[in-house]
Amino acid sequence: MPKFAANLTMLFTEVPFLDRFEAAAAAGFKAVEFLFPYAYPAEQLQEKLQKNGLKLVLCNLPAGDWAAGDRGTAADPRRQEEFRAGVATAVSYAEALGVGQMNCLAGKTVADVSLEEQQKTLVENVRFAADALAKIGRNLVVEHINTRDIPGFFLSTTKQVLDLLAVVDRPNVYLQYDMYHAQRMEGELLGTFTANLAKIAHIQIADNPGRHQPGTGEINYRHVFAAIDKSGYEGYIGLEYVPGEGGTVPTLSWAGEYGYKLS
């Protein structure tokens, strides 16, 4: 049976962030993920996880100034020192929160730097982050993001990430397979998933168009979940979608309709 994690950055936004842990637990979740923990003391987040019986399964490395439009710094040669300082911060949070893997966002293409130099920097930084996380027994995942939602994102297809992983050549680096982004860029969701199962450590989902819950768009998630279940995939599926105006809880009804539990 697929294991689902509530993305607390996207879901339960009808309440403040620190209240979303309780809301997720009340909805039946046993696992959560979110973009960034760094605005809060690690001890405060750990208390929320423990109090609500939740496991944190994913969060991101620091990714620059999100509010100012940054979407990662890993491919920017001018910000390598900043990236590496962020890795040190991420390692401390990973240890405190017990999260087993962290996601690296490559960031947007830099206009005045060659693509070759950006790729070289990305390889170096991913190796650096992977080695730092390996020292505490954690994995690193790397994500592709569609260029309709984030124009110019440096890694926009699964092939680009897989090619990167081959060059990085670290045993604890995997693909984070986001089916929403993949559908917008390339399709062939289950073909790609099946062919690369050994390199996929985390899945995220939303339907397309609209980035809402399963059943609202063109992706046949009944078929997708059945195939994932049959494949033997042991990781989590992060629900990274935008709820409608009625709030999060009504958008979770698809799970029961499909025959699954959220826990």
Kindly list the catalytic residues: 143, 240
Report the alpha-carbon distance of residue 252 to residue 27 in Å, rounded: 9
On whether the CB atoms of residues 221 and 205 are closer than 8 A, the answer is yes
Q: How far is the C-alpha of 226 from the C-alpha of 209, rounded, in Å?
A: 22
CA–CA dist 158, 171 (Å, integer) = 18
Which residue has 């809402």 as its token pair?
Answer: 212
Alpha carbon 7 to its chain centroid, in Å, reads 9
Kindly list the distances between the CA atom of residue 201 and the CA atoms of 89, 102, 139, in Å, as whole numbers in the listed order. 22, 10, 9
Selection from 91, 154, 82, 90 nearest residue 122 by Cα: 154
Q: Please classify residue 44 by burial: count the beta carbons closer than 10 Å to its beta carbon, then call 0-12 exposed, 13-18 middle and 19+ buried.
A: exposed
257/261 Cα distance (integer angstroms): 10
| R_g (Cα) of the chain, nearest Å | 18
Identity of the amino acid at 43: E
